[in-house]
Amino acid sequence: MEKESWYAVRTFPGYEFKVREKLEKQIAIEKKENVIHEIYIPIRQKYIFSRKKLKLKEDLLFPGYILVNMEFTNDTFYFVRGIQYVTGYAGISSMKQIPKPIKDSEYESMIEEVKKIEIDLESGDKVIIINHDLYNNQQATVKEINLDNKEILVKFEEEKILTTVKFIQIEKK
């Protein structure tokens, strides 16, 4: 039995989820779960303002690629390559070459990158508080952003009060 590793598989851009779906179906049909273990599409969360409202946008970390954890053999190599919308493996230009697995350190680094949440907001920005019992429709200034809890510490100028609100409770001024 070969050692399992992660391989970067190239797809048509925009077809990453379709490839994962087709690959999962074909794995089940051909009973390859014992050699192809996982399919992963790295996605980063980003909060952006659209028409003053904060919305969650998910961006692919590597557009045009999916990661496949598998035991590399000729069979698995051609099996994955044969899925519709797959164009090859990262790092090779012909079917005569053997792709190199992703290093464990690179995979761990990528997982850490995916965990990072971005927000289109910074300390000092003016926001309007919405859906809040005490401070609904009041203007406040952002003091701190807690990405882990998806909360923002804001200060109300008139009252010199600090309070914490959720991301979904703000609009951009």
Domains, the chain, ordered by start: 4-118 (3.30.70.940), 121-172 (2.30.30.30)
Is the pTM value of this prediction over 0.75?
Answer: yes
Q: What is the pLDDT of residues 51-99, one digit of tens each?
A: 888 888 999 999 999 999 999 999 999 999 999 999 999 988 777 788 9
At 158 the pLDDT is: 74
Residue 1 has pLDDT above 80, yes or no: no
At 81 the pLDDT is: 93
At 43 the pLDDT is: 94
In 3D, which of 113, 7, 5, 119 has the Cα closest to residue 60? Answer: 113
Q: What is the pLDDT of residues 126-161, one digit of tens each?
A: 998 888 888 888 888 999 999 888 899 998 877 778
- Give CA torsion, residues 119, 125, 130, 135, to 10 deg: 130
Structure tokens at 138: 């009041």
At 2 the pLDDT is: 64
> Which long-range contacts does 131-138 make (Cβ < 8 Å, 24+ apart)?
131/168, 131/169, 132/165, 132/169, 134/163, 135/163, 135/165
Max CA pair span of the chain: 70
According to DSSP, the residues that pair with 4 across neighbouring strands are 71
Q: What sign results for the dihedral spanned by CA atoms 5, 8, 14, 19? A: negative
Residue 35 has pLDDT above 70, yes or no: yes
- The 170-172 sheet, strands edge to edge: 117-119, 43-50, 53-60, 170-172, 126-129, 139-146, 151-156, 161-166
Q: What is the pLDDT of residues 106-134, one digit of tens each?
A: 999 998 888 888 888 889 999 988 888 88
Cβ atoms of residues 89 and 9 within 8 Å: yes
